[in-house]
Structure 1
């Protein structure tokens, strides 16, 4: 009986190992691009924005009867006592706090409300990874940190031997229903030592809930 043989494309293997190396360095707090200029976009602090299905605690100083645990509805709104629904979806916690304070002031309910918001339960934050990855699947985004296309591909087992990593696409549905498609050159990211870039332009792309990532097949 003849032993089975397997062919592994050296280029794809090298790229997969490079991606894994970047991920490992990041996990250990090392900078894989120490000798390269660091982009401002890659360094900015992550600021969480509230999203539908998040459950938040709204506390109003000195007004315990107005404090509530509420879940953000599909339109990004929450219901609070004595005021109209307040839109907080897409806002940071600080922005949502100010929106609630404004609602109570404009409604002539409280003169100087002081609001505190805490996130009690995060909504599921999923992206889908399909195509030439080893384990196509939905991937959970971390609630309080950035997540890139490279991260998602690695979470899905890494690229296959026939993955075309120069043309990975990210399909995103915007709040107004418009669908936007980004093309990501993952090989270019490796060459640039960890910088996710879109075409056209030179802007770091961070994944958002609902994004669909597709890794196409490379023509042999």
Structure 2
């Protein structure tokens, strides 16, 4: 009888251990897997350095993607996540030999207007806001703009992007195939996430 009780206790403990292990492997909630926010032009940032109150500052990201900080002057942060921007500031103070082990915290005090524009052959062209913590694909933007007109060339939608350094990039996306689920659709086309300031143009097809 005593051995049977010990066996039942052992079995119960094993089941509880398996349950705890399974819970530890559970996937992260959707909110934790959302795209990290990237700093953009005209964001207003508050920069705090642990135990360095004299270096606390509020700075707006300028047209070159930089913030101005005491001692180290300009630090480039546009296009970085907040965590990456914190490391960039820490490196600036460490590399300049101003601080040995800086611990930087950055908070976004005011977000820049996060907008993209879509022009050409869509039913509702104009400017559309981007979500703060996530992004938007070209396909999603076309859908929000009411879809293509009857004369749209949806196989060659152009996305123009200009970096803070002034570098211009143009991407051509076959949105029509994505919309219709055609075999030739390039899934990679739908992985391009729009960024603030992007200009999407839908050309007119020749009839």
**Into which bin does the TM-score normalised by the smaller protein fall?**
0.7 to 0.9
Structure 1 alignment gaps of length 5 or more: 1-43
- Rounded to whole Å, the distance in 2 between the matches of 1:105 and 1:176 is 25
| Equivalent position of 1:113 in the other structure | 102
Deviation string 1:8-66 (CA, Å, 9 cap, x unpaired) is xxxxxxxxxxxxxxxxxxxxxxxxxxxxxxxxxxxx85232212211111111112221
Secondary structure of 1:98 counterpart: helix
Structure 2 alignment gaps of length 5 or more: 1-32
Secondary structure of 2:161 counterpart: strand
| Equivalent position of 1:215 in the other structure | 202
Secondary structure of 1:85 counterpart: strand
Q: Is the Cα–Cα contact under 8 Å of residues 139 and 190 in structure 2 kept in the other structure?
A: no
In structure 2, relative to structure 1, the CA distance for the partners of 1:107 and 1:170 (3 Å cut) is closer
TM-score normalised by L of structure 2: 0.72
Matched, 1:58 2:76: no
Q: Is the Cα–Cα contact under 8 Å of residues 172 and 212 in structure 1 kept in the other structure?
A: yes
Deviation string 1:107-133 (CA, Å, 9 cap, x unpaired) is 332221111111121212222211111
RMSD: 2.5
In structure 2, relative to structure 1, the CA distance for the partners of 1:71 and 1:178 (3 Å cut) is closer
Q: Which has the bigger relative contact order, CA under 8 A and spacing at least 6?
A: 1
In structure 2, relative to structure 1, the CA distance for the partners of 1:151 and 1:101 (3 Å cut) is same
In structure 2, relative to structure 1, the CA distance for the partners of 1:175 and 1:85 (3 Å cut) is closer
Higher helix share goes to which structure? 2
Which residues of 2 match residues 139-218 of structure 1 at below 5 A? Answer: 139-192=128-181, 197=186, 204-218=191-205
- Which runs of structure 1 show a deviation greater than 4 angstroms over 4 or more consecutive aligned residues? none
- Rounded to whole Å, the distance in 1 between the matches of 2:55 and 2:167 is 37
- Rounded to whole Å, the distance in 1 between the matches of 2:114 and 2:124 is 19
Secondary structure of 2:73 counterpart: coil
Out of 201-210 and 107-116, give the one that drifted further.
Answer: 201-210
Aligned-pair CA distance for 1:91: 1.8
Number of equivalenced pairs:
173
